[in-house]
């Protein structure tokens, strides 16, 4: 790959070697005026990762390409100084999504070179792709459609469309970036980046509060049971929930009155977010096909490993919806007729 391609894919091994061979020391990157633009772009990568995603700037010459390439280690160092799981996941996901668009434009030969960088044994052509099943298992998306049993396999090679292969590569990129964060950063470098770090922390707090308060302002998030809080914190930090946890969370939120758009927006940080599919699933759980689903009981939650973080209120209920109502009553948020004050609604 030349420097222009390395600028687009700064997480490949060739990019690391290229940067190591450049004639400067790490601390110069964070102190010299000549690198101010690189530092700015590195910060922008992290801020955009928490927003609408990382867009690639126009690169017209080698200087632009080097600047874009160097902004990647700056971004990683910024993320590492903060060292927050939510930020690491959001950043890794955004870099991988950004790479996805660029991978689609790569010619077959470059795509093969890219796969080799990830030690992926693949045969690639415009018509279709096949890869060894052991590589497929490493990076396949966690979804029934991607289960090995649902794929066509021949002599250990799994057949995929080119688009599916690129989706696999996106996951490989995400895992590589996430597993290599945080990096060790000397404290004096984090100190030199103080202003940029504060800006990123402020943005993180804004994103978190938008998620946790604005989405739920018409309902009572402080009454959510521990299992729901756990699932929500996973979603907000980009964890790919199991199917059963996703169903439990979605049905719970629908049952307490959250709207469909709010729930779809909530899943928008998931590694496999697909708006159309998510909308279908949420509407299905809501009753779009004639069956209105109630969220699972505590015993079902326990069976599927989704009962997490039980507290004292859990001892008095048998259903997460019962928890929600009991907690509302305990906090004085329930309806105030005498009867309901003495006997909080039981939906268990």
Which residues in the chain belong to E strands, given as ranges? 122-124, 129-132, 153-154, 157-160
Burial of 187: CB neighbours in 10 Å, binned 0-12, 13-18, 19+: exposed
* Least separation in angstroms between CB 239 and ligand SF4: 17
Asked whether position 234 contacts ligand SF4 by CB under 6 A, the answer is no
Asked whether position 265 contacts ligand SF4 by CB under 6 A, the answer is no
* Least separation in angstroms between CB 298 and ligand SF4: 3
User: What is the Cα–Cα distance from 61 to 39, expressed in whole angstroms?
Assistant: 19
- Closest by Cα among 73, 67, 26, 19 to 56: 67
Sort strands 153-154 and 129-132 into parallel, antiparallel or unpaired: unpaired
What number of other Cβ atoms are within 10 A of residue 328's Cβ? 19
> Which residue of 48, 132, 207, 310 would you call a contact of ligand SF4, by CB under 6 A?
310
Q: Which stretch binds ligand SF4 (CB under 6 A): 7-15, 120-128, 304-312, 338-346?
A: 304-312
* Least separation in angstroms between CB 227 and ligand SF4: 3
Q: Contact 248/295 with Cβ under 8 angstroms? A: yes
Q: Contact 130/154 with Cβ under 8 angstroms? A: yes
* Least separation in angstroms between CB 243 and ligand SF4: 17
User: What is the Cα–Cα distance from 271 to 204, expressed in whole angstroms?
Assistant: 18
User: What is the Cα–Cα distance from 133 to 131, expressed in whole angstroms?
Assistant: 6
Asked whether position 223 contacts ligand SF4 by CB under 6 A, the answer is no
Q: Contact 311/330 with Cβ under 8 angstroms? A: no
Asked whether position 307 contacts ligand SF4 by CB under 6 A, the answer is yes
> Which residue of 11, 216, 323, 329 would you call a contact of ligand SF4, by CB under 6 A?
323
- What is the x/- site pattern for ligand SF4, positions 144-183, by CB under 6 A? ----------------------------------------
Asked whether position 256 contacts ligand SF4 by CB under 6 A, the answer is no
User: What is the Cα–Cα distance from 46 to 43, expressed in whole angstroms?
Assistant: 5
Q: Which stretch binds ligand SF4 (CB under 6 A): 79-87, 181-189, 195-203, 308-316?
A: 308-316
The answer to whether the Cα torsion of 219, 225, 228, 230 is positive or negative is: positive
Asked whether position 196 contacts ligand SF4 by CB under 6 A, the answer is no
Of 90 and 326, CB closest to ligand SF4: 326
* Least separation in angstroms between CB 169 and ligand SF4: 37
User: What is the Cα–Cα distance from 98 to 96, expressed in whole angstroms?
Assistant: 5
> Which residue of 309, 330, 333, 335 would you call a contact of ligand SF4, by CB under 6 A?
309
> Which residue of 226, 265, 288, 345 would you call a contact of ligand SF4, by CB under 6 A?
226
User: What is the Cα–Cα distance from 332 to 9, expressed in whole angstroms?
Assistant: 54
User: What is the Cα–Cα distance from 101 to 58, expressed in whole angstroms?
Assistant: 15
CA distances from 265 to 49, 63, 124, 268, 275 (A): 16, 39, 35, 5, 9
Of 112 and 310, CB closest to ligand SF4: 310
* Least separation in angstroms between CB 221 and ligand SF4: 15
Q: Which stretch binds ligand SF4 (CB under 6 A): 25-33, 108-116, 199-207, 223-231?
A: 223-231
Q: Which stretch binds ligand SF4 (CB under 6 A): 122-130, 234-242, 265-273, 307-315?
A: 307-315
Q: Which stretch binds ligand SF4 (CB under 6 A): 51-59, 169-177, 219-227, 332-340?
A: 219-227
Sites of contact with ligand SF4 (CB under 6 A): 225-227, 298, 301, 307, 309-310, 314, 320, 323
């Amino acid at each position: 790959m030349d420097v222009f391609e390395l600028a687009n894919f700064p997480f490949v091994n060739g990019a690391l070697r290229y940067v190591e061979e450049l004639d400067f020391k790490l601390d110069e990157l964070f102190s010299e005026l000549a690198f101010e633009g690189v530092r700015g772009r590195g910060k922008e990568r992290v801020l955009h990762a928490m927003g609408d995603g990382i867009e690639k700037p126009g690169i017209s010459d080698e200087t632009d390409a080097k600047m874009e390439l160097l902004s990647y280690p700056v971004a990683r160092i910024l993320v590492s100084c903060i060292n927050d799981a939510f930020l690491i996941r959001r950043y890794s996901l955004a870099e991988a999504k950004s790479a996805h668009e660029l991978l689609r434009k790569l010619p077959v030969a470059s795509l093969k070179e890219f796969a080799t960088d990830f030690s992926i044994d693949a045969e690639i052509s415009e018509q279709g792709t096949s890869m060894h099943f052991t590589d497929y298992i490493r990076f396949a998306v966690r979804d029934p459609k991607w289960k090995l049993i649902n794929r066509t396999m021949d002599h250990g090679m799994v057949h995929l469309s080119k688009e599916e292969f690129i989706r696999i590569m996106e996951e490989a990129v995400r895992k590589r970036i996430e597993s290599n964060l945080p990096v060790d950063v000397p404290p004096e470098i984090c100190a030199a980046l103080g202003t940029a770090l504060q800006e990123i922390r402020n943005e993180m707090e804004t994103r978190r509060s938008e998620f946790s308060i604005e989405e739920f302002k018409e309902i009572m998030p402080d009454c959510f049971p521990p299992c729901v809080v756990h699932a929500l914190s996973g979603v907000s930090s980009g964890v790919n929930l199991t199917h059963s946890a996703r169903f439990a969370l979605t049905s719970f939120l629908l049952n307490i009155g959250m709207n469909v758009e709010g729930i779809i927006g909530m899943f928008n940080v998931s590694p496999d977010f697909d708006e159309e599919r998510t909308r279908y699933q949420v509407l299905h759980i809501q009753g779009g096909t004639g069956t209105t689903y109630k969220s699972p009981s505590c015993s079902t939650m326990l069976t599927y490993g989704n009962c997490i973080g039980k507290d004292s209120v859990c001892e008095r209920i048998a259903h997460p919806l019962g928890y929600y109502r009991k907690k509302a009553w305990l906090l004085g948020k329930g309806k105030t007729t005498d009867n309901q004050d003495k006997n909080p609604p039981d939906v268990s």
